[in-house]
Amino acid sequence: MKNTLLKTDEIGIFSLGGLGEVGKNMYIFEISDQIFIVDSGILFPDNHLLGIDYVIPDFQYLVENEERIVGLFITHAHEDHIGSIPYLLRKVKIPKIYAAGIAVDMIEYKLTEHSDVKAPPIDVYKSHYKYKFKDVEISFIRLNHSIPDMFGIVFKTKLGNIFHTGDFKIDFSPVGPPAEYDKLAKIGSEGTILLLSDSTNSEREGIIESDSKIGKSINELFSRISGRIIIATFASNMYRIQQIIESSIRNGRKIAFFGRSMERAIEVGRQSGYIKIPKGFLLENEDLNKIPDHKLTILVTGSQGEPFAALSRIADRSHRQIQARKGDTVIFSSSPIPGNQEGVNRTINKLFRLDVEVITHGPIADTHTSGHGSQHDLKLMLSLVKPKYFIPVHGEHRMLIHHRDLAIETGVHPDNILILDNGDVAGLSANGLRLAGKVQADDIYIDGTGIGDIGSAVIRERKVLSEEGLFAVIATIDSTKGELLTKPSIVSRGFIYMRGNEEITNELANLASDVISKELQKKHYHENNLKQKVIDVLQSKIKDLTLRNPIIIPIISDLKE
């Protein structure tokens, strides 16, 4: 089904996730009636999404246009770029996945956990590969990020080059392979019609520290610590994990790993060659207590304060194998993701209560650096690529605005920049870049094993329950006689304490009796109408009496049979 929002010969660009948020990245490029998908990620929920495990994009547009999909192209292996792939494959037939390096291993590992998903073939690309499709050639540019094998994607079209950066930072002394700056300059000299660029750190001034400098800082820290080292970092940051391993070896420490995602990352990293542990330095977890404290490094998950991660369980004294004690040093080799600061602070406070030393990234110690470019990096990208048109992506709305301002500083005309929301379709042609319309791009909530069966109404109810409580009215009636057989019973949970508030509960029970009795006398009685009437009347009265709005649930038992 052709996209009716686009004019003939217009290229369509839009996002199903990643705009106005940091997460669930999914970008769609429509070229000559072909759909190219870039990334398929998840968003980790903040506190207002009660009980939600994570959020994925709405795939409805792809379901309706499945026959035009060419493939899914992956920039790198972070969860906010690959996490929703199993859910996408359940809904949409994808002919082929194109991925590189450890992204291939991570996707394959992820799909083994979803045995009900039929996986398409994965084409493993390298930075020099080119794929030709109708009116477009796709190629790749290696960039630096906090995970190996990060590639920007170039769409060479009749209009010129379209470049999607993916996540990146400028690092002139990276731990892994260097970025291909020559390719960036080349597409700039050829003519870049449109740039889509990572906006995560668009508000941040100054230079982002090189990962190699962080490695030296970690080694210096290790040399000064005499007790056990418990260090938390992102499981996906394989460069950092390898730096921690190397610092441990230099200081005569053996290494143990805890946390499911960490163990998976170590396995994938060792298979791909990014993680190297000499024989004799990797500890089996059951041998932990056989090693002197000054010869032990414990690498754990939980750098973001996740409640069930290894570090959080250590802080709660609920970890089966690791008990924190005086003399331990806990190092956070990470910075809190926006929205996670409260959880991180809670974990740090619990660790201090256990009388351990805690070191976080800051002026005293460089234990972390961002994988996203600062303003300096973003302007350098714009200057190298020289785009005529620009769409900032991957960031909250204020980040996109800041990135727009940086583009204007580097010479992009303000009229040639579009700030989009998820679902907004940009139409690119020889005549310009325009907002063409909107496609469906809602949030889909994953709650346990449920996919999309939790809507915004359920989230609102959970919020009300957590803040206002529940008020139930239980009544027995005989609808054939039009009688209320007993005075309604009142049950309160999280609303008011029943004992001591008998006057209020009696008043509300009497009010419910009146409402039910009147409704039963009506010629066209219907139970749903009765329940709604009870809710409406009690809601108003409860608000007057208590200034609160609990969820009201009428339970009607009809003895007519």
Residues involved in catalysis: 198, 372
Nearest-angstrom CA–CA distance, 290 and 541: 66
- Judged by DSSP in three states, 411 sits in coil
Cα–Cα distances in angstroms (integers) from residue 8 to residues 33, 159, 282, 326, 449, in the given order: 10, 13, 60, 70, 42
Q: How far apart are CA 175 and CA 165, in angstroms?
A: 20
Of the candidates 343, 354, 264, 266, which has an alpha carbon nearest to the alpha carbon of residue 318?
354
* Cα 178 from Cα 172, distance rounded (Å): 7
Instruction: Give the strand order in the sheet containing 443-447.
Output: 54-57, 443-447, 450-451
CA torsion through residues 448, 450, 456, 462, sign = negative
Q: CA 89 → CA 85, 95, 153, 398, distances in Å?
A: 6, 10, 22, 32
Instruction: Please give the Cα distance from 165 to 188 (Å, whole number).
Output: 13
- Say how far apart CA 246 and CA 170 lie, in whole Å: 24
- Render the burial of 428-459: b for 16+ CB within 10 Å, e for the rest: beeeebeebbebebebbbbbeeeebebeeeeb
CA 460 distance to own-chain centroid: 21
Beta bridge partners, 124, equal 99
| Cα distance between residue 282 and residue 297, in whole Å | 10
Q: Which two tokens stand for residue 17?
A: 């996730």
DSSP run (H or E) holding 80: helix 79-82
Are 401 and 414 in contact, with CB atoms under 8 Å apart?
no
CA distances from residue 522 to 283, 335, 480, 519, 554 in whole angstroms, order as listed: 76, 64, 12, 5, 19
Residues 6+ positions from 441 with CB-CB distance below 8 Å? 14, 15, 16, 17, 57, 58, 61, 422, 423
d(CA 538, CA 471): 10
Amino acid at 431: N
Beta bridge partners of 395: 19, 21
Q: Provide the residue type at 439 as one letter.
A: V
Given a contact cutoff of 8 angstroms between Cβ atoms, the answer to whether 7 and 425 are in contact is no
Do residues 418 and 400 make contact, with C-beta atoms less than 8 angstroms apart?
no
Count of beta carbons in the 10 Å neighbourhood of residue 292 = 10
